[in-house]
């Protein structure tokens, strides 16, 4: 049985037959997505794992509408998603789906206190709030992600990587989305900071009823946070099921190799494993 068949919450994101090829020159192209189908059940976390270049980020970008697909469909809460440049449509979509990237620096203005970034988000999405109500909301959001007024008034350069990622999460929450797409959002953090941010994400998911599409190459992170998992290789879905099904009883040899190559206590790399993963002779 896979996640699609399992009883439980209905899908908030449904991806069907998605394909995307990038043409790099007259004779060169890369198929980043090849007939990809999967679904994120409402209120759960779907992890997308796979080697570098397997198409994870392209899938995330198509889902949020930043990238178009050549064929296939993405539906969010039953409504098909199309790429758009309409500001109104983009704002509506941003209210529904927010994205958190690996490098929070990209969404923070180096010359402004980080609280101003959240204020900007509130101005876009909460026209009902005046200046002082927005300030109160900024401080509430900082409190929610374990930061204080002192952090809100600091420039990005004064914050650690983990604190900046907390700001990026607060910024996403400011739009009151139903879904957050996290693209390698904890990958750049030290293991102990990573564990804290994962704990925060789990708490926020429960408190706000959020659904997560969680892109990662790290299987220990998948075990920690995800309910379901999609394994991708060369743009294709290799396996899709619950975390227990896929990680404890993998059906595909590629998934078994991914699991065997994942670092864990006492782990010793098997010689030539990476070559096998890449389909090369060891
Ligand atoms: N805008 C683009 N133009 C050309 N090729 C692209 C573009 N975006 C992605 N690709 C190619 O598509 C393939 C899939 O890339 P993608 O970034 O989706 O993989 P990924 O699994 O997220 O990898 P990583 O973990 O390294 O980010 C890669 O071969 C990549 O080089």
Q: Name residues contacting ligand 1 (CB within 6 A).
A: 22, 24, 30, 32, 50, 52-58, 217
Q: Whose CA is nearest to atom 20 of ligand 1?
A: 53
Q: Which residues pair with 228 in a beta bridge?
A: 46, 242
Token pair belonging to 111 = 């010359």
pLDDT at res. 90: 78
**DSSP 3-state assignment of 180?**
strand
Q: Whose CA is nearest to atom 30 of ligand 1?
A: 53
Q: Whose CA is nearest to atom 8 of ligand 1?
A: 58
Distance, CA 53 to ligand 1 centroid (Å)? 5
CA-60 nearest atom, ligand 1: 18
Beta strands in 196-268 (DSSP E): 211-215, 228-233, 236-242
Predicted ipTM of the assembly: 0.97
Residue 52 class from Cβ within 10 Å (0-12 exposed, 13-18 middle, 19+ buried)?
A: exposed
Q: Which tens digit of pLDDT belongs to each residue from 182-209?
A: 999 999 899 999 999 999 999 999 999 9
Q: Which tens digit of pLDDT belongs to each residue from 103-131?
A: 887 778 899 999 999 999 999 989 999 99
CA-61 nearest atom, ligand 1: 18
pTM value? Answer: 0.89
N- to C-terminal Cα separation, the chain: 34
Token pair belonging to 9 = 């919450």
């Amino acid at each position: 049985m896979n996640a699609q068949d399992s009883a439980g919450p209905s899908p908030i994101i449904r991806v069907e037959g998605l394909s995307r090829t990038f043409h790099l020159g007259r004779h060169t192209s890369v198929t980043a997505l090849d007939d990809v189908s999967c679904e994120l059940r409402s209120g759960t976390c779907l992890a997308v794992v796979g080697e570098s270049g397997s198409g994870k980020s392209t899938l995330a970008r198509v889902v949020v509408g930043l990238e178009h697909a050549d064929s296939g469909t993405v539906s969010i809460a039953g409504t098909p998603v199309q790429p758009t440049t309409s500001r109104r449509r983009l704002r509506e979509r941003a209210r529904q789906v927010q994205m958190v990237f690996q490098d929070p620096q990209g969404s923070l203005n180096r010359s402004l206190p980080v609280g101003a970034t959240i204020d900007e988000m509130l101005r876009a999405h909460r026209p009902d709030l005046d200046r002082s109500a927005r300030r109160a909301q900024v401080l509430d959001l900082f409190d929610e992600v374990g930061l204080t007024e002192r952090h809100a008034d600091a420039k990005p350069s004064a914050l650690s990587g983990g604190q900046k990622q907390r700001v990026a999460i607060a910024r996403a929450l400011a739009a009151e989305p139903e879904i957050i797409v996290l693209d390698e959002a904890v990958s750049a953090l030290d293991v102990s900071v990573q564990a804290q941010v994962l704990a925060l994400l789990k708490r926020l998911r429960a408190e706000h009823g959020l659904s997560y599409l969680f892109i990662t190459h790290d299987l220990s992170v998948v075990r920690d946070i995800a309910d379901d998992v999609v394994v991708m290789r060369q743009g294709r879905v290799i396996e899709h099921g619950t975390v227990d099904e896929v990680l404890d009883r993998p059906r595909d040899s590629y998934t078994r190799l991914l699991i065997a190559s994942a670092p864990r206590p006492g782990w010793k790399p098997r010689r030539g494993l990476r070559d096998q993963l890449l389909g090369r002779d060891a």
